[in-house]
Amino acid sequence: MDNQIGEEFKRLRKERKMTLRELSDRSGLSVSFLSQVERGISTITFTSLRPQNRRSPRCKCQFLL
């Protein structure tokens, strides 16, 4: 499976000096899920990133752009 999205996700997170825990707290997504996305085990959908689907409004989809 091609993991370009997960690799880019991890690169952007590290560029912003964020831990998985910090991203989890901001996004409302679990640390284990985010880790799986970065490793290419799970995929993330734009639906899961929409504000009404997250517990925290502090994380924006622009993180991925």
pLDDT tens for 41-53 read: 998 877 766 654 4
**pLDDT over threshold 80, residue 35:** yes
4-64 has CATH 1.10.260.40 classification: yes
28 — pLDDT class (breaks 50, 70, 90): confident
pLDDT at position 3 is 83
Residues 43 and 34: their CA atoms lie apart, in Å, by: 9
pLDDT at position 27 is 82
